[in-house]
């Protein structure tokens, strides 16, 4: 497993396991299977409603805390300095942990204009040892620029929707320039049209791999952190089985050309749900 060194020298596995849209009754077996398969990075969030189940799976795994990288997120309705401090305590209690490795602001919700104060709370939580690294989700360049201007610690990670139909190249260039790692949610476009794409299917056939494995490999070779989600044991294993082949430069270019700015989720600047 390749790790990415965040700007504060924290090591983060490049391939992790996401639990967005994983129901509570499916979360323990899914996370347990992921850990058994070899995943060591688990990505959850307060709004997912499954932090307790993730914590249970971690406890049952027998793995040492230092072997794991756990991410969670503060939800929009908990933004603001004091609310965020309390939200972290609630998440730690549910997860059964003393700290998380990465804590993220889930959305900037610019209509409410609280993300700078929220981020300052993340900075304090980092000072207090409750979190090893801090970052954001779904932040556009304009939101990141405010944090860089008004806060002390730059985000270690920006987790955004990213897949071959939404390559996020401009945002990636900005993040790379400022030492911020990009992490892809919905990396397989939620099993959508991208997996049916003729070019991706052709590349998969050439390597004896599935389209999903090819797309995950594309993310990895683009130096993107990636967190595919599944509750199906065979797919959990399949999504991890991506370290025994490499895409050629021509194959990478063919996938890069598929970008068409197509989102499954909302525009960050327009997402103000609380």
| Domains of the chain with CATH codes | 3-259 (3.20.20.100)
Nearest to 85 by CA among 57, 51, 124, 53: 124
39 is catalytic: no
- Residue among 16, 76, 23 nearest 48 (CA): 23
Whole-number pLDDT of residue 245: 98
Contact 139, 160 (CB under 8 A): yes
Q: Tally Cβ neighbours within 10 Å of residue 248.
A: 12
Residues 87-113: pLDDT tens digits?
999 999 999 999 999 999 999 999 999
Using one digit for the tens of pLDDT, what is the confidence trace for 227-263? 999 999 999 999 999 999 999 999 999 999 999 999 9
Residue 190 class from Cβ within 10 Å (0-12 exposed, 13-18 middle, 19+ buried)? Answer: middle
pLDDT band at 214; cut points 50, 70, 90: very high
Angle at 166 between CA 8 and CA 259, to 5 degrees: 120
pLDDT at 150 over 90: yes
**Location of structure tokens 């476009």:** 189
Q: Three-state secondary structure along 188-204?
A: CHHHCHHHHCHHHHHHH
**Secondary structure of 116-185 in HEC code, one letter for each residue:** HHHHHHHHHHHHCCCEEEEEEECCCHHHHHHHHHHCCCCCCEEEEECECCECCHHHHHHHHHCCCEEEEE
CA distance 225 to 181: 7
CA distance linking residue 30 with residue 47, whole number of Å? 18
Cα separation of 109 and 270, whole Å? 8
Q: What is the pLDDT of residues 182-210, one digit of tens each?
A: 999 999 998 878 999 999 999 999 999 99
The H or E element containing residue 42 is strand 41-43
Catalytic site residue from 39, 48, 103, 119: 48
Amino acid 192: pLDDT:
77
pLDDT at residue 5 in the model = 98
End-to-end CA distance of the chain: 36
pLDDT band at 216 (very low <50, low <70, confident <90, very high): very high
pTM over 0.85: yes
Task: Please name every residue paired with 10 in a beta bridge, in sequence order, or none if there are none.
Answer: none
Q: Please tell me the predicted confidence (pLDDT) of residue 190.
A: 85
- d(CA 199, CA 102) in angstroms, rounded, equals 35
- Tens of pLDDT, residues 115-146: 999 999 999 999 999 999 999 999 999 999 99
């Amino acid at each position: 497993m390749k790790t990415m060194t965040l700007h504060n020298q924290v090591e983060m596995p490049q391939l992790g396991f996401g639990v967005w849209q994983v129901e509570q009754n499916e979360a323990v077996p899914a996370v347990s299977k992921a850990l058994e398969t070899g995943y060591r990075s688990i990505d959850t969030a307060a709004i997912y409603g499954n932090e307790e189940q993730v914590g249970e799976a971690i406890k049952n795994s027998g793995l040492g805390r230092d072997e794991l990288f756990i991410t969670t997120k503060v939800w929009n309705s908990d933004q603001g300095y004091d609310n965020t401090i309390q939200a972290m305590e609630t998440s730690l209690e549910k997860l059964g942990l003393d700290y998380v490795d990465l804590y993220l602001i889930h959305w900037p919700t610019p209509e409410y204009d609280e993300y700078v104060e929220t981020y300052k709370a993340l900075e304090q939580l980092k000072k207090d040892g409750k979190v090893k690294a801090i970052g954001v989700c779904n932040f556009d360049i304009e939101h990141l620029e405010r944090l860089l201007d008004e806060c002390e610690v730059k985000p270690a990670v920006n987790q955004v929707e990213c897949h071959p139909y939404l390559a996020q190249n401009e945002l990636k260039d900005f993040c790379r320039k400022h030492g911020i790692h990009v992490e892809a949610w919905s990396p397989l476009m939620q099993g959508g049209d991208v997996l049916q794409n003729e070019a991706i299917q052709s590349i998969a056939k050439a390597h004896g791999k599935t389209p999903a494995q090819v797309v995950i490999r594309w993310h990895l070779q683009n130096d993107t952190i990636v967190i595919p989600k599944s509750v199906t044991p065979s797919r959990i294993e399949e999504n991890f089985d991506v370290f025994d082949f490499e895409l050629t430069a021509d194959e990478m270019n063919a996938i890069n050309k598929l970008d068409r700015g197509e989102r499954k989720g909302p525009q960050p600047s327009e997402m103000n749900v609380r």
